[in-house]
Amino acid sequence: MRVSMDLELKDIPGQLVLALKPVSEFKGNLISVVHHHEKKTPRGKIPVHLVFEIKPDHLDNIISLLEESGISVVSVDEKRYLEHGAVILIGHIVHTDIKDTIDKVDNTGYAEIVDLNLSMPRVNRPSSASLKIDAVSKQHMSAAIELLKSIAKEKDLLVIEPIGIN
């Protein structure tokens, strides 16, 4: 997941390295570091804005390590799902247990169905639905779509996926 974090560092040498060390220790991937030396806080501290990608279960460790080093963590904003995708389903979507279809994706832990638009023209005619999927990463998105395709095969639904997946 992607984490955006506001820190406050003491205005003494070596603080920035100290702040980045826990991220690197837990194999986080730094996206950006903005060091606002000119915007000192009233307490004389220097605001730093970090953005990095990290496995979700490592975030708490990073925060504890930072606090142990005397760095104030002012705010943490985590964005778990980086990938947004859409697919279309055609077939008897509702009567083949739509809840089960959604649950199977949601239960993966790496992807969720976040929106569903359903069009049911007439009884006994196939329905169409557009599904929005959020996933942790590109790989997880294609895994989620593969999963949907295998569910669709069992339920005789047609999945129309975007180009460029895989």
Partner 1 sequence: MKTIRASIIGFGAVGRGVAQVLLDKNDYLQSIGIDMRIVAIADSKTALVDHQGVDLESALSRKKETGTVGSEIMSGTEIIRTLDHELVIETTPTDIDTGGVGLINMMAAFERCMDVVTSNKGPLALKYGEVIAAAKKSGSHCRFEATVGGAMPVINLACDVLAGNRMISMEGIFNGTCNYILSRMMEEQAPYEQMLAEAQELGIAEKDPTYDVEGIDTASKLVIVANSIFGMNASYRDVTVTGITRITPEALSLANADGFAIKLIGEVNDSRINVAPKLVPLSHPLAVGGTLNVFSVQTDLAGPITITGKGAGSIETASAILSDIINIYKN
Report the site for partner 1 in 105-124 (rule: CB under 8 A). Answer: 117, 119, 121
If one asks whether residue 143 binds partner 1 (CB under 8 A), the answer comes out as no
Closest CA to 97 of 30, 47, 157: 157
Q: Between 43 and 125, name the residue whose CB sits nearer to partner 1.
A: 125
Q: Indicate which single residue of 33, 73, 90, 147 sits in contact with partner 1 (rule: CB under 8 A).
A: 90
Cβ-based neighbours of 5, under 8 Å, separated by 6 or more: 49, 50, 51, 52, 73, 75, 76, 77
Pick left, alpha or beta for residue 64 (phi over 0 → left; psi -120 to 50 → alpha; otherwise beta). alpha
Residue from the set 49, 51, 65, 126 that interacts with partner 1 by CB under 8 A: 126
Q: Which residues of 84-107 are buried (b: 16+ CB within 10 A; e: fewer)?
A: ebebebebebeebebeebbebbee
Give 5 or 129: the residue with its C-beta nearer to partner 1.
Answer: 129
Single residue of 23, 87, 111, 151 touching partner 1 by CB under 8 A: 87
6 HSE (CA, 13 A, CB side) = 8
Residue 83 as a binder of partner 1 (CB under 8 A): the answer is no
The stretch near partner 1 (CB under 8 A) out of 20-28, 46-54, 83-91, 103-111 is: 83-91
Q: Applying CB under 8 A, which residues contact partner 1?
A: 86-88, 90-91, 117, 119, 121, 125-130, 132, 158, 160-163
